[in-house]
Every structure is written in structure tokens, then in C-alpha cells.
């Protein structure tokens, strides 16, 4: 009698366990209705891995040995970075674009690696690409403030 009770209790626990797993962790998450806890965790972990794979900031060399462009890859904001070995008066950072382009274009998602910068043949000009929406801008650096900034190239 004890053996029958132990076997029955074991079978009951196994069936409850299997039922609980099918409710929270569907075998085919694509066909399941709604998100399971496991799918949500997997999605979160994949997003975090992608964010760690792409840097939040990148420095791009220009044709000028004293000047770099710093790009915030999550928002498309950019700065012109100058360094000097002679005088700290010549070193500094000035903005090229202070707008959060991720909010203005596409769905507004900000994630590391969304924006990329590409060199052109002209050392003062770069092409800024929003890899999410496909929007592009001409980014121009200059020592003269009135010649610095971005120009949208989309229609």
C-alpha cells in the first residue's frame, strides 16, 4: 500500500511539474500566445549582449592629425575633439550635433551601435547613418563654428 501511495504521489508531482512548465515555458515560443518568463529573460539577455558588443561612444580620425569626431552611437550626437601638445588653449571639445536623432527618426529606440559614421574623400565631411531607420546626414567639422554641423540628406 505504501508503494502505491509513493508511486501515485510521484506521478502526481511529475504531472504537476510538467503542467507548470508548459504554462510558463511553451515549447514553441513563436506560436505561443504572449510572452513567457523564459522568453522575456532570453530577449533581455540578448539585448544586453548586443549593447555590450557595440560601444556607446566611438572616436573617428579626420584627415587632420589634431582633430577627431566623437560619436555617441545611441543618439547620433557628435563632438569635434581637438588635442594639442603645445597649449591647452588649442585643445577642447565642441559640439557638431546636440540633437537626439534616435528620438526624431524611426521608433525612438536608443541602443549602442545604432548610429555609425563613414569617411568621405573630403576630410571635413562624414556621412552619419542611422542603421535603424536608414536616415543619413552629412556631418561637417570645422574650426569655424558657422561651418560645423549636420545636414539631413533624406528626402
- Running along the chain, 155 residues long, what does each successive block of 10 average in pLDDT? 55 53 47 56 66 84 95 96 85 94 83 94 96 93 95 86
pLDDT value at residue 90: 76
pLDDT value at residue 84: 86
Give me the residue spans of the domains in the chain.
56-152
User: Which pTM value belongs to this model?
Assistant: 0.66
Please say whether the beta carbons of 96 and 141 come within 8 A: yes
CA 133 to chain centre: 13
pLDDT value at residue 63: 94
pLDDT value at residue 8: 57
pLDDT value at residue 16: 55
The conformation of residue 43, written as its DSSP 8-state character, comes to H
Q: Give the three-state DSSP class for 113.
A: coil
Amino acid at each position: 500500500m505504501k508503494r502505491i501511495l509513493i508511486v501515485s504521489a510521484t506521478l502526481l508531482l511529475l504531472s504537476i511539474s510538467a503542467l507548470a512548465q508548459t504554462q510558463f515555458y511553451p515549447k514553441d515560443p513563436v506560436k505561443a500566445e504572449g510572452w513567457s518568463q523564459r522568453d522575456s529573460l532570453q530577449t533581455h539577455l540578448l539585448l544586453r549582449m548586443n549593447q555590450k558588443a557595440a560601444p556607446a561612444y566611438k572616436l573617428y580620425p579626420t584627415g587632420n592629425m589634431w582633430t577627431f569626431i566623437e560619436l555617441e552611437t545611441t543618439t547620433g550626437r557628435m563632438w569635434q575633439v581637438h588635442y594639442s601638445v603645445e597649449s591647452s588653449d588649442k585643445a577642447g571639445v565642441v559640439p557638431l550635433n546636440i540633437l537626439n536623432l534616435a528620438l526624431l527618426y524611426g521608433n525612438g529606440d536608443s541602443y549602442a551601435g545604432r548610429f555609425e559614421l563613414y569617411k568621405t574623400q573630403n576630410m571635413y565631411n562624414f556621412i552619419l547613418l542611422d542603421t535603424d531607420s536608414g536616415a543619413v546626414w552629412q556631418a561637417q567639422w570645422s574650426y569655424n563654428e558657422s561651418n560645423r554641423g549636420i545636414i539631413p540628406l533624406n528626402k
